[in-house]
Amino acid sequence: MTDTQPQIFKGLAGVVVDVTAVSKVNPETNSLLYRGYPVQELAASKSFEEVALLLWNGELPTATELAAFTAIERASRGLDPEVKLVIDELPLTAHPMDVVRTAVSVLGALDATTADTSPAGNLAKSMLLFAKVPAVVAYDQRRRHGEDVIEPRADLDYSANFLWMTFGEVPDAVVVDAFRVSLILYAEHSFNASTFTARVITSTLSDLYSAVTGAIGALKGALHGGANEAVLHIFTEIGFGPDAERRSKEWLAAALAEKRKIMGFGHRVYKKGDSRVPTMRDSMVRLTEYYDRPDVLELYNGLEAAMTERTGILPNLDYPSGPAFHLMGFDTLTFTPLFVAARVTGWTAHIMEQTASNALIRPLSAYNGVDERHF
Ligand SMILES: CC(=O)SCCNC(=O)CCNC(=O)[C@H](O)C(C)(C)COP(=O)(O)OP(=O)(O)OC[C@H]1O[C@@H](n2cnc3c(N)ncnc32)[C@H](O)[C@@H]1OP(=O)(O)O
Ligand SMILES: O=C([O-])CC(=O)C(=O)O
């Protein structure tokens, strides 16, 4: 490298671009803290609503604060008629991530206060999106099945109501709890690609809806949130059923020979395993027991063992959450929108942090095109 050639950090790998107080990802200790609390402790006993308030406000809510938020959230849950109208115009073949991205954009166009990016304005919008995204995701899965929208129930918490709006029944506690755990684990993860996208958009003094719309676009890709959907496609390719260990090994050997990326494995930050996987795996195992699907666990274990043996690359959160969502009854195409519903909390916490301490995000590039010339 000469003096005139700057060092390039392809993919911003290893670059620390700003500070954040929202979460700490520590690959050395394999830990993840939300505002200082280990995510495993939050997943063990807190509601998703409490975790959302923690991410936004920096502290767990008091009983009064939680009650006030719960009232707002439950009153805002329904699918807006204008949003339903737009969704109904979209083809049934539209990817659910395109549908939820469009719905958030429509919500921004409908809100007369979109331009208000004050702390109070942004917090109100964060709460609104938190409450409204589940109705979009649930309705989109239902319409693809030719089923009508189901109205939310104000007597249910966020997790139970989400499942109610999707399936028209509240499943047993083991299922609701696994869903709550997945939402908490997916809520936040520092400067991942979609959160960084939200921060870039916010840094131009754009609005919260635009930032979340952009973040959804970034999350859709298979190298990021789209991996939970891709894991199920892999499971389907390998096939559920007996002899999963041998079949996984054979499938993996062929996939690696074709230089395929194995979705649900590997991570930009964690190189010794993803801190969230053991907690999500426990919930997924409980679901395989509840639904009497040992074949799903055999396939999960078989592919993980084969991948470890062949490459040493470990699973990320999308690996256990994919089969968990499958067992709960969600369509494979709905998996990444579930990630959206959870990550709305982290994205909006970062949008508020970026707004409070803003600098336009505009890195430099090194030119490697043709030298100056004239025609
Ligand atoms: C919740 C989340 O968003 S977690 C991430 C979800 N994404 C996935 O599961 C997609 C699959 N995984 C991947 O593609 C990668 O592991 C990423 C993109 C997540 C992280 O990758 P990076 O930090 O950029 O590492 P990079 O892609 O350079 O990988 C390093 C090496 O390991 C290999 N590798 C990493 N992950 C995988 C994988 N899942 N399958 C096969 N090989 C892999 C790469 O091919 C590369 O090999 P090489 O050095 O011989 O070229
Ligand atoms: O941190 C990342 O790069 C991806 C990830 O795990 C997440 O967003 O949850």
Does any domain span residue 367? no
**Could you tell me if residue 130 is inside a domain?**
yes
Task: Kindly state whether residues 218 and 231 are assigned to the same domain.
Answer: no
Minimum mean pLDDT range among 42-46, 169-173, 243-247: 243-247
Range 239-252 average pLDDT: 93
Same domain for 185 and 71: yes
Please indicate, yes or no, whether residues 321 and 341 belong to a single structural domain of this protein.
no
pLDDT at 292 over 70: yes
* Per-residue pLDDT at 188 exceeds 70: yes
SS (H, E, C) the chain: CCCCCCCCCHHHCCCCCCCCCCEEEECCCCEEEECCEEHHHHHHHCCHHHHHHHHHHCCCCCHHHHHHHHHHHHHCCCCCHHHHHHHHHCCCCCCHHHHHHHHHHHHHHHCCCCCCCCHHHHHHHHHHHHHHHHHHHHHHHHHHCCCCCCCCCCCCCHHHHHHHHHHCCCCCHHHHHHHHHHHHHHCCCCCCHHHHHHHHHHHCCCCHHHHHHHHHHHHHCCCCCCHHHHHHHHHHHHCCCCCHHHHHHHHHHHHHHCCCCCCCECCCCCCCCCCCHHHHHHHHHHHHHHCCCHHHHHHHHHHHHHHHHHHCCCECCHHHHHHHHHHHCCCHHHHHHHHHHHHHHHHHHHHHHHHHCCCCCCCCCCCCCCCCCCC
Distance CA(80)–CA(109), nearest Å, equals: 13
111 with 52, same domain?
Answer: yes
CA 121/CA 348 separation, integer angstroms = 12
Q: Are residues 298 and 250 in the same domain?
A: yes
Task: State mean pLDDT over 44-57.
Answer: 98
Instruction: Respond yes or no: is residue 318 known to be catalytic.
Output: yes
Residue 317 is assigned to a structural domain of this protein? yes
**Closest ligand 2 atom, CA of 188?**
9
Confirm if 20 and 347 have CB atoms less than 8 A apart. no
> How far does residue 368's CA lie from ligand 1's centre (Å)?
26
Give the pLDDT confidence score for residue 3 in this predicted structure.
Answer: 54
Q: How far is the CA of 77 from the centre of ligand 1 (A)?
A: 37
Question: How far away, in angstroms, is 148 Cα from ligand 2 center?
Answer: 34
Q: Relative to the CA of 316, which ligand 1 atom is closest?
A: 4
Q: Which atom of ligand 2 is nearest to the CA of 194?
A: 8
Residues 188 and 239 placed together within one structural domain of the fold: no
ipTM of the complex: 0.98
Is residue 267 among the annotated active site residues? yes
Given a contact cutoff of 8 angstroms between Cβ atoms, the answer to whether 213 and 114 are in contact is no
C-beta of 335 in contact with ligand 1 (< 6 A): no
User: Do residues 215 and 307 both lie within one domain?
Assistant: no
- Tens-digit pLDDT profile for residues 213-238: 999 999 999 999 999 999 999 999 99
Asked whether residue 137 is assigned to any structural domain, the reply reads yes
**100 and 249 fall within a common domain:** no
Residue 186 alpha carbon, nearest atom of ligand 2: 9
Alpha carbon of 2 to ligand 2 centroid (Å): 35
Same domain, 186 and 277: no
Mean pLDDT of the chain: 97
Residue 275's domain comprises 227-328
Q: Is the pLDDT of residue 176 over 60?
A: yes
- Checking if the pLDDT of 364 tops 50, the result is yes
Say how many domains are in the chain: 2
Q: Which of 192, 280, 314, when mutated, tests ligand 2's pocket best, judged by the most ligand atoms within 8 Å of its CB?
A: 192
Select from 313, 314, 321 the residue to mutate for testing ligand 1; criterion: most ligand atoms less than 8 Å from CB. 313
Task: Please report which confidence band the pLDDT of residue 72 belongs to, taking 50, 70 and 90 as the band edges.
Answer: very high
Q: Give me the pLDDT at residue 218, please.
A: 98
- What integer is the mean pLDDT of 26-44? 96
Q: Do 214 and 303 share a domain, yes or no?
A: no
- Compute the distance from residue 313 Cα to the ligand 1 centre, in Å: 8
Which one of the listed residues 224, 318, 331, 350 is annotated catalytic? Answer: 318
Residue 135 lies in a domain: yes
Q: Residue of the nearest CA to atom 19 in ligand 1?
A: 267
Catalytic residue among 189, 267, 326, 350: 267
Nearest CA to ligand 1 atom 26: 268
pLDDT at 5: 82
Q: Which of 23, 195, 267, 274 to mutate to test the pocket of ligand 1 (most atoms within 8 A of CB)?
A: 267
What's 28's domain CATH number? Answer: 1.10.580.10
Write out the two tokens for 21. Answer: 């107080």
364 is a domain residue: no
Q: For residue 219, which atom of ligand 1 is closest to its CA?
A: 3
Given this model, what pLDDT does residue 241 score?
86
pLDDT score, position 220 = 98
CATH of the domain at 247: 1.10.230.10
The answer to whether position 285 is within a domain reads yes
What are the two backbone dihedrals, phi and then psi, of residue 348, each rounded to the nearest 5 degrees?
A: -70, -35
% of the chain at pLDDT higher than 70: 99
pLDDT by residue (tens digit) across 340-356?
999 999 999 999 999 99
Do 277 and 248 lie in one domain? The reply is yes
What is the layout of strands, in order, in the sheet containing 23-26? Answer: 23-26, 31-34, 37-38
Spatial neighbors of 41 by CB under 8 A, at least 6 apart, are none
Question: Is residue 22's pLDDT more than 60?
Answer: yes
* Span 102-129, average pLDDT: 98
Mutate which of 269, 271, 343, 347 for ligand 2? The one with the most ligand atoms within 8 Å of its CB, which is 269
Q: Which ligand has an atom closest to residue 189 CA?
A: 2
| 15 in any annotated domain | no
Which amino acid, one-letter code, is at 23? S
- Closest residue by CA, ligand 1 atom 12: 266
Indicate if 201 and 252 belong to the same structural domain: no
In this predicted structure, what is the pLDDT of residue 2?
Answer: 47
